[in-house]
Amino acid sequence: MAKVTIPVSEQAEQFQISPDYVRISMAAAIELGLKPGRIERASCDCINLLQNYPEGCYANCTYCGLARERPGLPEDNTFIRVGWPLYSTDLIAERIAIREAKKEVGRVCVSQVQDHRANEDMMEIIRRVRLKAPQVPVAALVSATLLNEAKLLEIRAAGVDIIGIGLDGATEEIFDEARGKKTRGPHKWDYHWEIIRMARKLFGPMNVNCHIIVGLGETDRDLFNLFLQLRNEQIAGYLFAFNPEPGTATQDLPRQPIYRHRRVQLIKYLIENYELSPAAITYDAAGGLLKLDAPLAMLDEAINSGLPFMTNGCPDRHGVMACNRPYGSYRPSEEYRDYPFVPTAEDVRVIREQMCLDEVWAA
C-alpha cells in the first residue's frame, strides 16, 4: 500500500497552528516584505490572514481547496490557488506596525476556517494585531456556523468594524449543493442568513458583506434577485469569480464566460448605485438575462467609470476600497475578472468588447 507522507519542508507547519501562527495571502506577504515579488499594476492594501490547523477546514465546500474531503493532505491544498505562506502571528503583527509607520495599511482581515478553536483563536489573532497596530481597521471573515449573537458582540468589542460572511451560493439550492447538506458539510442556509441579519443589526448598514461566487450553477435571475435583496437590507455583496481548483469536486466545472461576468458586474453596480428597477431586467425561460432596459447615459457613465468591474472589497479607514485581492481568482497572465485598480480607458475598451452588451441592451 502506498504510504502518504508529508514533505519534510512542510512537516513543521503541522505544529505551527493558530493563534500563534497564521497564513497570509501571497499578495499581502509581498506587500509586507515577507515574500519577494511584485504585483502587476496594483498594490495590496488589505492584509488577509487565514487560520491554520493541521486538519485544514472541517467544512466540505465543493469548490474550496481547504475542503475536508478534498483529495490530498491539507498542506497540499491552496486557498484560491496560490499558496498562502505561514508565519508567526507576532511577526505579521510587527510587519503591519512597521508598514503603518511608513504608510497606512488599508485594512487587516482575519479569516476563520471551520474548526472548534476558530472563535477563540480569531480573538487572539485580532488582539495581537491591534496590540502592535491599534489604528488599523480590522475585518473578520467569519464562519457563520460557528457564531451566535454573543460571539458577534465579542468580535465587535475586539475592535472589528466589518463582518464578512461567505454565503458563496446565490440560492438555497446552490448553497446546499456546494456547501450544505448535500456535501456532508456543516453549513445551513437559514442559519447563515440568521447570522448575516444579526451581524447587520449589530454592525450597521453596509458593514456586513456577503461573498457570492458567480459560476456555481446559479442563474442570472438568482444573482440579480440576491443583489436586490442585499441592497434593500443594506448588506454589501462581494462578487467572486468561480475558478476551478484542481483536486476539488468542482475541478471540471467550467468558468463562466467573461461576457456573463461583465454583465453581472454591471447590473450589480446599477442596482446598487442607480437603483435599477427589477422591471428593467427581462429573463429567458432558463432565468438568463435576456434584455436590459436602461438609459444609455446611465450605462455609459457606469461603464466608463470602470468601477463596476473592480474587485468588491472592504474599505480602508477613509472609505476607499482596500481589499482588492490582486489576481486572487485568475492568473496574472489571464484576462482580469475583477480589476484590483480603477480600470483605465484602455481597460474599459476591453471590458466593453468582453461584455457584448448590445446583445442584451434594449435601446
Q: Which is nearer to other proteins, 65 or 180 (CB)?
A: 65
| DSSP per residue, 2-62 | PPP---HHHHGGGT--TTTEEEE-HHHHHHTTSS----TT----EEEEEE--TT--S---T
Q: From the list 37, 257, 288, 295, which residue makes contact with other proteins (rule: CB under 8 A)?
A: 37
Q: Which is nearer to other proteins, 284 or 334 (CB)?
A: 334
- Interface with other proteins, residue 39, by CB under 8 A: yes
Nearest in space to 86 (alpha carbons), one of 142, 7, 20: 20
Q: How many residues bind other proteins (CB under 8 A)?
A: 16
Q: Which is nearer to other proteins, 25 or 143 (CB)?
A: 25
List all residues 6 or more positions away from 109 whose beta carbon is below 8 Å from its beta carbon.
Answer: 46, 47, 48, 49, 138, 139, 140, 141, 164, 314, 323
On whether the CB atoms of residues 46 and 32 are closer than 8 A, the answer is: no
Q: Which is nearer to other proteins, 88 or 277 (CB)?
A: 88
Cβ at position 81, least distance to other proteins in Å: 9
Cβ at position 92, least distance to other proteins in Å: 15
- Interface with other proteins, residue 332, by CB under 8 A: yes
- Interface with other proteins, residue 30, by CB under 8 A: yes
Cβ at position 332, least distance to other proteins in Å: 5
Cis peptide before 7 (omega within 30 of 0): no
Q: Which is nearer to other proteins, 36 or 254 (CB)?
A: 36
Pick out residues in 310-329 that bind other proteins (CB under 8 A): 326-327
Helix axes 189-203, 149-157, angle to 10 degrees: 40
On whether the CB atoms of residues 93 and 129 are closer than 8 A, the answer is: yes
Q: Candidates 30-38, 275-283, 306-314, 341-349 — which segment interacts with other proteins by CB under 8 A? A: 30-38
Q: From the list 279, 333, 346, 358, which residue makes contact with other proteins (rule: CB under 8 A)?
A: 333
How far does the chain reach from its first CA to its final CA, in angstroms?
66
Nearest in space to 278 (alpha carbons), one of 234, 233, 225: 225
Q: From the list 7, 12, 33, 234, which residue makes contact with other proteins (rule: CB under 8 A)?
A: 33
Cβ at position 27, least distance to other proteins in Å: 6
Cβ at position 243, least distance to other proteins in Å: 14
Cβ at position 48, least distance to other proteins in Å: 13
Q: Which residues pair with residue 241 across a beta bridge?
A: 214
Edge-first strand order for the sheet with 160-168 is 86-88, 21-24, 46-51, 107-111, 138-142, 160-168, 208-214, 236-241
Binding mask 205-244 for other proteins (x = CB under 8 A): ----------------------------------------
Beta-carbon-side half-sphere exposure of residue 187 (alpha carbons within 13 Å): 33
Cβ at position 37, least distance to other proteins in Å: 2
Helix axes 149-157, 118-132, angle to 10 degrees: 10
C-alpha cell at 94: 510587527
Pick out residues in 80-119 that bind other proteins (CB under 8 A): 82
Q: From the list 6, 16, 20, 35, which residue makes contact with other proteins (rule: CB under 8 A)?
A: 35
Q: Which residues bind other proteins (CB under 8 A)?
A: 26-27, 30, 33, 35-40, 82, 326-327, 331-333
